[in-house]
């Protein structure tokens, strides 16, 4: 009996063809689930994506493994060899652990406005609310308790998990996944100060999200003040991210959890932003930029590269020592300049010897 009763298993030779890997070893071996090298059992397909775990190849009980060409000789197990083992694992996992098919139809407890258009193949879950003029396309899924506002468009194969709120006129592209608790299209933080009070600025733009995106749980994306907030194709957003009004996130960019992006900032294509990074408003981050976790970005970045602004963790007393030295730098600089002047030189010319 297979170790994953929900899947009958796939012959390794077939799996190699379907994920574009090279088979080495017995192609008749069947795998029915993905697993870690450490905890794999019969029927498990494990993978090695980092040399740090190479030693586990000798002890794993997996039925087969995915490795890169460099590590193919490190195990006698049947193997799938691929230049990018992590991507191959992702493809195999999708085949071995497919999502349960949704049942088309509108749940009796859902409220669907009479002017909304819901395709017959779409799924509307319990207590969901679909607003006036909304368009729910083929095979789209709206989970329990979702609120889909007026004139929202959900393209084909979109999946909206439970308790998501999508405000009016938002556009969601095909095959995009939105996880529970996300809020899409809420008001941007637009306020004008007058006479000691704050005057709310109406937010009349939309949120437009492209194809094949993923929006994490409890992530919020504000609609534009005038123009739209735009999330381009294949953008991946982790949980609890805040994206301000009028931002643009370029295609194929990935952003980790707890990042905050202030309004009117443009993030380029193919960027990677680490968790808890904070990005000020009205900035431009160029394509192919990597921003390390916890980094504060207060000016535009025009040159691709890796940018880091976080102070690495230290034992507390070492951190205090380092900070005390940092606080003295300005005083030490002034003392050095005074010494150079006394010696007949100039701090402006330090390090500029002929």
Catalytic residues: 245
Contact in structure between 277 and 296 (CB atoms under 8 Å) = yes
Torsion angle (degrees, nearest 10) of CA 44, 45, 48, 52: 0
Q: Distance between CA 350 and CA 333 in Å, rounded?
A: 12
Q: What is the DSSP string of 46-92?
A: EE--SGGGGGGGGT---SEEEE-GGGGGG--S-EEE-S-HHHHHHHH
Distance from chain centroid for Cα 269:
13
DSSP state of 217: T
Q: Distance between CA 347 and CA 344 in Å, rounded?
A: 10
Task: Please work out, in degrees rounded to the nearest 5, the angle formed at the alpha carbon of residue 94 by the alpha carbons of 91 and 97.
Answer: 145
Q: Distance between CA 78 and CA 27 in Å, rounded?
A: 8
Contact in structure between 170 and 188 (CB atoms under 8 Å) = no
Write the CB contacts of 339 (distance below 8 Å, at least 6 apart in sequence): none
Q: Distance between CA 153 and CA 222 in Å, rounded?
A: 17
Paired tokens of 137:
């396309």
Instruction: Name the residue among 181, 227, 237, 234 with its Cα closest to residue 207.
Output: 227
Q: Distance between CA 79 and CA 303 in Å, rounded?
A: 41
Q: Evaluate the CA torsion angle 320, 325, 329, 331 in order and state its sign.
A: positive
Paired tokens of 71:
């590590």
Contact in structure between 253 and 272 (CB atoms under 8 Å) = yes
Contact in structure between 163 and 145 (CB atoms under 8 Å) = yes
Q: Distance between CA 124 and CA 131 in Å, rounded?
A: 12
């Amino acid at each position: 009996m297979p170790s994953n009763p929900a899947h009958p298993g796939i012959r390794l030779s077939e799996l190699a063809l379907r994920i574009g890997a090279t088979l080495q070893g017995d192609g008749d071996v069947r795998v029915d689930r993905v697993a870690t090298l450490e905890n794999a059992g019969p029927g498990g397909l494990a993978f090695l994506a980092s040399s740090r775990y190479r030693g586990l190849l000798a002890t794993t009980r997996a039925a087969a493994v995915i490795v890169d060409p460099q590590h193919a000789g490190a195990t006698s197990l049947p193997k799938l060899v691929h230049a990018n083992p992590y991507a191959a694992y992702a493809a195999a996992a999708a085949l071995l652990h497919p999502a349960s098919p949704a049942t088309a139809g509108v749940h009796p407890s859902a409220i669907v406005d009479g002017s909304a258009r819901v395709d017959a193949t779409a799924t509307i879950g319990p207590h969901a609310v679909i607003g006036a003029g909304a368009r729910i396309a083929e095979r789209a899924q709206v989970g329990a308790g979702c609120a889909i506002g007026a004139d929202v468009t959900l393209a084909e194969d979109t999946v909206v998990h439970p308790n998501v709120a999508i405000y009016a006129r938002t556009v969601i592209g095909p095959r995009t996944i939105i996880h529970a608790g996300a809020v899409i299209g809420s008001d941007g933080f637009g306020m004008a100060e007058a006479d000691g009070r704050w005057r709310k600025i109406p937010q009349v733009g939309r949120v437009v999200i492209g194809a094949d995106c993923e929006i994490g749980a409890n992530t919020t994306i504000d609609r534009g003040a005038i123009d739209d907030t735009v999330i381009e194709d294949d953008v991946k957003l982790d949980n609890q991210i805040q994206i301000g009004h009028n931002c643009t996130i370029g295609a194929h960019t990935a952003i980790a959890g707890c990042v905050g992006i202030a309004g009117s900032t443009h993030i380029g294509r193919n960027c990677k932003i680490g968790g808890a990074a904070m990005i000020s408003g009205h900035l431009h981050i160029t394509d192919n930029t990597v921003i390390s976790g916890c980094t504060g970005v207060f000016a535009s970045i025009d040159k691709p590269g890796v940018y880091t602004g976080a102070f690495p963790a230290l034992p507390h007393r070492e951190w205090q020592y380092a900070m005390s030295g940092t606080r003295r730098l300005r005083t030490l600089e002034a003392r050095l300049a005074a010494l150079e002047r006394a010696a007949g030189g100039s701090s402006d010319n330090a390090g500029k010897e002929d």
